Each structure stands twice: as C-alpha cells, then as structure tokens.
Amino acid sequence: MLIRVILILLYKTKIVVTNPKSHSRNYFGTDGIRGKVGVWPINAEFILKLGWAVGKVLARQGYGKVLIGKDTRISGYMFESVLEAGLSAAGIDTHLLGPMPTPAISYLTRTLRAQAGIVISASHNPYYDNGIKFFSAAGTKLPDEVEAAIEEQLEQSMTTVDSARLGKAVRVVDAPGRYIEFCKSTVSSETHLNGLKIVVDCANGAAYHIAPNVFRELGADVIEMGVEPNGLNINLNCGATHPAALQQRVLLEQADLGIALDGDGDRVIMVDHQGHVLDGDELLYIIVKHRQELGSLKGGVVGTVMSNIGLERVLQELGVPFVRVPVGDRYVIAELSKREWHLGGEPSGHIICSDAITTGDGIITALQVLSALCYKKQPLAEIKTGLHKYPQVLVNVKVPGICDLSSKPRIQEALKNIEKKLGTSGRVLLRCSGTEALVRVMVEGEDENNITQLAHQLALVVEEDLT
C-alpha cells in the first residue's frame, strides 16, 4: 500500500505527524516504485509487465514514443532491456538515453515531445536497490489517475500487438550534450566561474559525465570525484548522502567550494572553503535572498515538514511567505504550481526552481547558488550568513514493512510527552518513509543535547512497538 502521511502543522511551535493513511495503490509509492533488486516487484518479470502496462495506457492516447534513462546501477542494464521489451509488446517506440540524471530525463521528455519518460533509478539508495519512476509529456510527475490506470492494467494478462505494430528502439546519442547546454542556459550569460576552484562529487552516479563539464564550460577549474561508476559503487561513501570525502578533498585542494550530487543527480549539497556542509535549507536561503535582491523573486517559498524552523523565521524577517507540505518533491511541486511560486525544497538538497525546470535538479540548483556567489563576489561561507539553523536530530528506525503509527497507543503517548517537554521551543515529527522501510523520527529545538535525548527516546519506543 502507498502510505501517505497526514501532517498537522503548528506554526512556530511543533509539527506532528499522525494518522498515516493507506491508499488503494499496490505498487506506486511517493516516488514511483522502488525496492531491492530481485525481490518482487523489482525483478525482471514484474518490470517487463510494468513496461507493457505503461505502453497499453499510453497507446490509448495514440502513437507516441517513450524515453528511458537510468543511473549507473548494474541492474539498470536488465531493467532497461525488459522495459523496452514490454513497451514494444504494447506497440510503443522507445528512445534510450543511457545514464542520465533524473532531471535531464524530465527535460528531454518535454523537448523531444515524448509521451512519457521513464527513469530507472533508486536515487540515493545503495546499488542493490533500484526503482522505476515516470514523467509525463510535460516533464512532470505522472498524475494520480494515470498511475491508477497503470495499476489497473497490471491486473490484466499480458498480450502482444501484431508484429507489424511492435515498437522500435533507438539510442539518443546526443542526450548528454543537449542537457549540458540546457543547464548552462539557466543562468545569465554574465555568469562566469573563472577563477573558482570547485571539487565536484558525482557519487559515481548518473551525472558523472555531465556535471563536471557544465561547471568547466562556465570557466571553473574543476576537480572531479565520484566519476568512475562500476555498477556497484553508486552513492558508496560519496555524493550528497556521504559528504565527508568531499569535505576532506576541498580542504586538501584548498578549493573555493565543493558540490556533491546524489546518484541520480536531483539533489545537491555544497561545502564551503572551510569544509562546512551547506544543506538544502541553506542553499534555498541563498537563492531566495539573491532573487529578492535582484527583484526577481516571485511569491514565496515552499518547504516541507523537515525544513528547519530557522529557515522559516529568516524568510519571515525578509517578508517572504513560507508554507510547509509533506516530504516529497511531488508535494513541493504541486504547491508551487497551485500558488504560482518558483522556489521550494527540502533539507536533503532536493531544490525546485520551477521557472527553470519542472523537477528537482542538483546541477541547476548549484548553478543558482554560484550565480549568487559571483554576483555578490563573496565566498560561500559569507553568502550564507543570516540564517540561524536550529539543532535538528533525525533518527531512522528500520521496520519490517507497512506501519500504522496512529494505531499504536504507546507511540502516540510518547509523542505527546515529548511535545509537552518541548513546549513552544521546538517541534517533533514522526513519519513513515515513502521510499524505504523506515520510520523517521525528527526532533528540533534550541538545546541539541536535549533534543538528541528526546529523539532517541522516541525512536526506542517506535522500535520496540513496531519490530
């Protein structure tokens, strides 16, 4: 079942997650379908039928083509082949992009006028996981009704169209070059990175052959990391989820800054010349402040329940509206569209600049920050000043599978007790992950020692009750 968490947001105080809501979906989670390779549904048999089901749903709209891109996991070869076969059986042509960042597939789906784009990736997860996610013809996440139609089609017996109507497959050889040029076009032609020494960590993932070239072609002296994928080393002690190696390299090379992407290139964190990590909240703050100074900021900012309360308060001081949504870029994107705003994101480094691209993009986010840095002629360590982040402790609790936190009285009682202890000086968040078998416990407040203790207390109760 797809677990969607209902959030109760209390402005300036605490944020509590209660009443997880089951959904009628059997396969789609908050970000497509994801799991361990070889374990249903992430096996060749199911993915073959998934490709066929997608093709059958798209075929109802008339002739078209589907793009397939992937990250660098070894299982991507297998899933690329079976998706192509399933789509062909349904009469749909495929254009194969090879290893490409998730946002690149979103962009190319739109510009190549495809009916849909398919991404084979498990993002920041280890190599032994993989997943399938989709983009519509507009480069956005598939609407709920299309996902529902695909699930309904999966319940039918697989068939094959007449041989004369089978889909064909071609490889798009110029996909990387197309995307490099697009990324560069998202910043002013006056943005030059000459004189900047930048360490770029591509997590041995999908952006390994793209990101360094983007920054290098804009004039930066680029030192590459994580650009030797072997199918097994994606996200392994590198990239946005493991920035320690980047921090060390920035200090060793005496670089001006470092940029770390995750395995599929849709999120980014940065490191200043002193080796300090800047997360998504800090990067979003830099971009917002820069646009406000230029007079180009449209509306406010969309964050999530994980966004630091310090970001909310500094934006309030700047007169910038701020709203929170559940964790997941689809919720951020939906709220931005609803309000006709342009900027939103998550502390993980998943930032949406919707005036540039329809999904999160680590390269484009980094370029937005670099544009601000060049404009202000300040180092990253200085340009981030003004944001005071509250200490925030996150504890992940492994659970056997689907969890219903609202039906556990002991967990709810522990949650209420921590709320009382925090009062108005902090907040607590308890939620089921939409992509992994985890319950995430987050406590935020002014006293780091206190919130660390409270987070681990609540995590222990969750572990005892659910495992």
pLDDT by residue, tens only, the chain of 467 residues: 222 222 333 333 233 332 333 345 678 876 789 999 999 999 999 999 999 999 999 999 877 899 999 999 999 999 999 999 999 999 999 999 999 999 999 999 999 999 999 999 999 999 999 999 999 999 998 888 999 999 999 999 999 999 999 999 999 999 999 999 999 999 999 899 999 999 999 999 999 999 999 999 999 999 999 999 999 999 999 999 999 999 999 999 999 999 999 999 999 999 999 999 999 999 999 999 999 999 999 999 999 999 999 999 999 999 999 999 998 888 999 999 999 999 999 999 999 999 999 999 999 999 999 999 999 999 999 999 999 999 999 999 998 877 778 888 999 999 999 989 988 888 999 988 876 788 999 999 989 999 999 999 999 999 998 87
Report phi then psi at 354, rounded to 5. Answer: -70, -15
For 260-287, the pLDDT digits (tens) are: 999 999 999 999 999 999 999 999 999 9
Whether 372 contacts 290, CB under 8 Å:
yes
The whole-angstrom separation of Cα 205 and Cα 100 is 9
The whole-angstrom separation of Cα 132 and Cα 149 is 16
What is the three-class DSSP state of 357? coil
pLDDT at site 14: 31
Angle at 51 between CA 48 and CA 54, to 5 degrees: 150
CA-based Rg of the chain, rounded to a whole angstrom? 22
Whether 382 contacts 409, CB under 8 Å:
no
Residue the block writes with tokens 């084979």: 120
Whether 26 contacts 50, CB under 8 Å:
no
The whole-angstrom separation of Cα 13 and Cα 406 is 21
- Residues pairing with 431 in the sheet: 440
Which run of H or E residues covers position 462? helix 448-466
285, amino acid identity: Y
Residue 100 makes CB contacts below 8 A (sequence gap 6+) with 69, 70, 108, 175, 176, 179, 206, 210
The whole-angstrom separation of Cα 83 and Cα 89 is 10
Whether 232 contacts 74, CB under 8 Å:
yes
Asked if the domains at 14-23+390-466 and 178-383 fall in one CATH topology, the answer is no
Q: Does domain 14-23+390-466 correspond to CATH entry 3.40.50.300? A: no
Q: Does domain 178-383 correspond to CATH entry 3.60.21.10? A: no
Which ranges constitute the DSSP H helices of 186-262? Answer: 211-217, 244-253
Domain ranges across the chain = 14-23+390-466, 33-173, 178-383
- Residues pairing with 17 in the sheet: 7
- Active-site amino acid positions: 123
Assign domain 33-173 to its CATH architecture.
Answer: 3-Layer(aba) Sandwich (3.40)
137, amino acid identity: A
For 350-362, the pLDDT digits (tens) are: 999 999 999 999 9
Whether 255 contacts 197, CB under 8 Å:
yes
Whether 303 contacts 389, CB under 8 Å:
no
The whole-angstrom separation of Cα 95 and Cα 326 is 34
Whether 193 contacts 370, CB under 8 Å:
yes
Cis peptide leading into residue 229 (ω within 30°): no
pLDDT at site 25: 64
22, amino acid identity: S
pLDDT at site 16: 32
